[in-house]
Amino acid sequence: MKTFTLEEITALTGGMLTKVQDVKITQIAPPLLSDENTLALALGEEEIANLAKSKAKAALVPLGVQIDGLTTIEVERPRLAMMKLLNLFYTAPEVNKGVHPTAVVHETAKLGENVQIGPNVVISHDAVIGDNTKILANCYIGGGAVIGKNCFFHPGVNIGDRVKVGNDVILHHGVSLGADGFSFVTENPDNIEQARKEGEIKEALTKQVIFKIPSIGSVVIGNNVEIGANTAIDRGTIENTIIGDDTKIDDLVMIGHNCRIGKGCFIVSQVGIAGSCVIGDRVTIAGQAGLADHIEIGSDTIITAKAGVTKSFPEKSIVVGIPAMPRKDFIKQLKTLKDAQEIFAKFRKYEPLLKEFEDNINHDHNS
């Protein structure tokens, strides 16, 4: 069991210790789940209030919070401090040393120093695996793929041919990099082409030949990227699909062929990005947002949850709604709707007077 002193934890978090009694810390937890050897994490108002009902003798709290009778470590950025503590107590998944006997490594593949390969992993011809990279059970590395140093692939990751992955990349369970793009063409103009050109579907097409467009590009993942479970990033049609350095992608995200995602982006669960989109640096795309194909999103933009983005937006935009629009326009629309409700209520109030007025006019006219 890992055990730490209050002084060690204070030094690690850069906090300020107010010591009421000495405690050996063996774990961290929310206040209501803490015992006497737990450092209670009271990061918000509700958790701070719960300290009164906690068995903990020590707590991590925001700067300026002091609790009578309780040892506290005050920190300026509680969530940052929590991250440091979680790394302190974190135990990485176990990986066997070297190459597991059930792994299949092609004779032309090149493995760097201290590479660890788990059970049933398949590494295809001419693949290159960098130093200290760990690949857990049931992963597949395609032919000619290049994997950087210090990467960690959880079970079930699938890497297509010629995909390039940078250094310090984490891929979670079931990630797919380098599947063919969803790209097809019809022999004659189809309904979608009609709708885009004419704004309507004039002729119903009862029979249409659909041809698959092969994807001969690949996927390039930058350094220090993390990609969540069951996320799929398709290879480019001719050029590569690119994910920039330091970008973090959540579970169940779909990124289409030819997309270029910038550096330091956050892409949250269930986001769908259609093909050939260009996303700038430090863009946040919240959960279940969808982006149409061939649009550009400027750097430092925030796309809020469930937004339906059908057009490009410049840098530093805050994008809201379906169809998506700048936040200020969205708020203006909400205000207009509220004003309309008030106007309608007044109309209903005075509607009988209006009808009486109209009846009088009609009576005078007929007289």
- Catalytic member of 100, 257, 294, 365: 257
256 and 109 in a common domain: yes
**CATH number for the domain that contains residue 36:** 3.40.1390.10
351 and 316 in a common domain: no
66 and 47 in a common domain: yes
Please count the residues of the chain: 367
Kindly report, residue by residue over 44-56, the tens digit of the pLDDT. 999 999 999 999 9
Whether 147 shows a pLDDT value over 70: the answer reads yes
35 and 53 in a common domain: yes
173 and 320 in a common domain: yes
**Which pLDDT does position 206 carry in this prediction?**
67
Q: Which residues pair with 36 in a beta bridge?
A: none
Note whether residue 330 is domain-resident: no
Structural domain for 296, as ranges: 104-325
What does pTM read for this prediction?
0.84
Note whether residue 96 is domain-resident: no
Annotated catalytic residue 257 = yes
159 and 198 in a common domain: yes
The three-class DSSP label of residue 217 is: coil
pLDDT exceeding 90 applies to what percent of the chain?
A: 76
Q: Select from 39, 57, 89 the last residue of a domain.
A: 89
**Which pLDDT does position 178 carry in this prediction?**
97
197 and 161 in a common domain: yes
**Which pLDDT does position 72 carry in this prediction?**
95
The whole-number average pLDDT for the span 332-359 is 73
Q: How confident is the model at residue 175 (pLDDT cuts 50, 70, 90)?
A: very high
Note whether residue 115 is domain-resident: yes
From the CB of residue 79, how many other CB atoms can be counted at a distance below 10 Å? 11
Using the structure block, give the residue that is written with the tokens 């903990």: 56
Note whether residue 97 is domain-resident: no
Q: How confident is the model at residue 94 (pLDDT cuts 50, 70, 90)?
A: confident
Q: How confident is the model at residue 367 (pLDDT cuts 50, 70, 90)?
A: low
Kindly report, residue by residue over 223-254, the tens digit of the pLDDT. 999 999 999 999 999 999 999 999 999 999 99
Q: For residue 34, what are its two tokens?
A: 């803490």
Note whether residue 95 is domain-resident: no
* Cβ contact 292:275 at 8 Å: no
Kindly report, residue by residue over 264-280, the tens digit of the pLDDT. 999 999 999 999 999 99
**CATH number for the domain that contains residue 250:** 2.160.10.10
Kindly report, residue by residue over 117-128, the tens digit of the pLDDT. 999 999 999 999
**Which pLDDT does position 111 carry in this prediction?**
97
Greater pLDDT, 132 or 95: 132
Pairing of strands 116-117, 110-111: unpaired
pLDDT exceeding 70 applies to what percent of the chain?
A: 96
264 and 228 in a common domain: yes
Whether 351 shows a pLDDT value over 90: the answer reads no
Whether 201 shows a pLDDT value over 80: the answer reads no
- Amino acid code (one letter) for 304: T
Q: To the nearest whole number, what is the mean pLDDT of the chain?
A: 91
265 and 220 in a common domain: yes
- Amino acid code (one letter) for 119: P
The whole-number average pLDDT for the span 46-70 is 93
111 and 27 in a common domain: no
Whether 344 shows a pLDDT value over 80: the answer reads no
Kindly report, residue by residue over 185-194, the tens digit of the pLDDT. 888 777 777 7
Note whether residue 99 is domain-resident: no
Note whether residue 94 is domain-resident: no
285 and 200 in a common domain: yes
CB burial string 243-266: b at 16+ within 10 A, e below: bbbbbbbbbbbbbbbbbbbbbbbe
360 and 243 in a common domain: no
Note whether residue 98 is domain-resident: no
The three-class DSSP label of residue 278 is: strand
Q: How confident is the model at residue 221 (pLDDT cuts 50, 70, 90)?
A: very high
Distance CA 236, CA 200 (A): 30
What is the number of structural domains in the chain? 3
